[in-house]
Chain A
């Protein structure tokens, strides 16, 4: 109950600013489209209608059709599902992995900590987009590979913040008291450390979502990410770009959808950061 009411309070504060409200509105629209794609879409996104290629926007096809006569609006709506599933799964994996490693680094012996920090440094120092290309070159394009690569690259990001937060808690009197009372390490971590450090990590996660959407769309634009029949926004932009001389509508419409989503998530993430706690700002 208290968690719900404090979440609502934070959300109200996010929506108090114009940019925050805009961001929240866009995020809500994208999430709604992603969750209820079959009902939000007006047609089957994969239904071909080659007699109707590059149709102009009309009542039947709200945003027109693409080079195979498929309904663009419906393809974009289903693209939201792809973007959100990739972004959310990669972020959640990175968030859990990073948090676990970060807490362990803070509480286990210094030797382990140094090792984890070096691994974080090494991962963070790789140009991930380029490395993704090398991996795709060997295994071929796949959605799973995109998720795994992005999750690994983002892990140090969460790990460092989790470690820093856990260190500040380490000598807190209430943890000292728990230890004297004989609480186990696992109990201390799950019941006391985790709830206290989760806030900044969730904010960080919300700010990483547009980054993940961008990477996925970029790889799919190159034809190296999500594979057909799944249609990512990046795939739609690539299709439109290929047929630019026939019609500029598909490329403009799908680029705008991607830009709209990344802008919305960025505005929302920043408003969330500002709304939660001014102290957090300096740490992120």
Chain B
């Protein structure tokens, strides 16, 4: 399949290079798309993109800012050059730099996303192991149904129900927003419901995935051998079986970050929390296109970088994955 003499290192380098190229293509594609969107707007772009608030002065600033008075190729070049140097443009309404706006809110979104992933793994993995080791029991069946329910119900619906039950009816937790005082305890309390709303679906997903791969792995000869050697059931389950059963979970997490970022937009709005999602949403309602453009680009970059990291770590754990793209029968 491979040219004679190709070593494992060569193969790894080639995989790395092809993944890097794809990642770069995706980011370039996103930039091109975002740029094109701003130039294919029907009618006069300044009026269309700024909407009713487009005073002549604001339109002037917008045209100058977006370089709308210049030929397309110069604008495209300038856009790419600006992005490459970290300049994402200027918020036409407040006059602040888009990069600065994003830097301000990005920690909120990242903390929410990673807290949700962390919670999903911390709860989902043990639940999956429990279901696999108690296969066919009542608990296993109940867990299976609850998992599907959590996966199927949209996270913003879960968010609304959590808000109604815990913040309004029971009045246990503060309702909306991030902490104004910045006190850690208050902020943690305000994080509980949004994190839960995002994580529940992934708890169900991970629990099911771990259960399936555990059951698969438990049938492997090396597990039988470990048992025959008299290792304790706990050691076999948690050390030997779980380790291999976790591989699919890692890939799912890579996909998950993107879906979570999408879900975070809605959850941030339900809970009126600051973040990238809210920034984009507010910018859309104010028709503030430069902010939308910059924030969407940042989300795309975050998403592809996380995917790249997950893919590379996955292929380091499991070398089989590197062959996946080669075509059966064709030269690799």
> Chain A interface (Cβ within 8 Å of chain B)?
19, 110, 113, 117-118, 121-122, 125-131, 133-139, 167, 171, 210, 214, 217-218, 221-224, 237, 241, 244, 248, 251-252, 255, 258-259, 262-263, 265-267, 270
Contact = CB atoms under 8 A, between A and B. Distances in A.
Interface stretch (B64-72, B155-163, B181-189, B229-237): B155-163
Interface in B25-50: 25-26, 29-30, 33-34, 37-38, 40-41, 48-49
Contact of B157 (A135, A138, A237): A237
Interface in B264-319: 265-266, 269-270, 280-281, 283-285, 287, 289, 292-293, 296, 299-300, 303-304, 307
B284 A127 contact: no
Contact of A134 (B34, B48, B168, B329): B34
B157 A259 contact: yes
Interface size class of B (residues with CB under 8 A): 35 or more
Contacts of A237: 156-157, 160
B148 A130 contact: no
The DSSP consensus for interface residues of chain B is helix
Contacts of A266: 148, 151-152
Q: Which 5 A-B pairs have the closest CB atoms?
A: A129-B262, A266-B152, A263-B152, A127-B258, A134-B296
A159 to B, nearest CB: 14
B266 A136 contact: no
Nearest to B258: A127
A127 B299 contact: yes
Contacts of B192: none
B238 to A, nearest CB: 26
B281 A167 contact: no
B292 A134 contact: yes
Interface string B87-100: 00000000000000
Contact of B262 (A127, A171, A210): A127
Contact of B265 (A117, A121, A130): A130
A138 B164 CA distance: 34
Nearest to A269: B152
Given A113-B327, A241-B270, A130 B280 contact: yes
Interface in B95-118: none
A65 B274 CA distance: 33
Given A131-B300, A237-B157, A258-B154, A19 B148 contact: yes
A217 B155 CA distance: 11
Given A133-B281, A134-B292, A222-B266, A259 B148 contact: no
Contacts of A218: 154, 156, 262, 266
B284 A224 contact: yes
A265 B151 CA distance: 12
Given A133-B296, A218-B156, A224-B284, A122 B26 contact: yes
Interface string B133-146: 00000000000010
B304 A125 contact: yes
Contact of A167 (B160, B161, B327): B327
Contacts of B22: 118, 121-122, 125
The DSSP consensus for interface residues of chain A is helix
A133 B303 contact: no
B209 interface: no
A218 B153 CA distance: 12
Contacts of B307: 125
Contacts of B148: 19, 263, 266-267, 270
Contacts of B145: 19
Contact of A255 (B23, B160, B258, B300): B160
Nearest to A258: B157
Given A129-B265, A131-B296, A251-B164, A136 B152 contact: no
Contact of B153 (A127, A134, A259): A259
16 contacts: A125-B22, A126-B300, A127-B258, A127-B299, A127-B300, A129-B265, A131-B33, A131-B296, A133-B281, A134-B37, A135-B37, A138-B48, A218-B156, A223-B285, A237-B157, A267-B152
A223 B149 CA distance: 26
A110 B329 CA distance: 11
A133 B284 contact: yes
B328 interface: yes
Given A19-B145, A113-B327, A118-B22, A259 B154 contact: yes
A270 B208 CA distance: 13
Contacts of B328: 167
A262 B148 CA distance: 10
B85 interface: no
B284 A214 contact: no
A217 B160 CA distance: 14
Contacts of B30: 126, 131
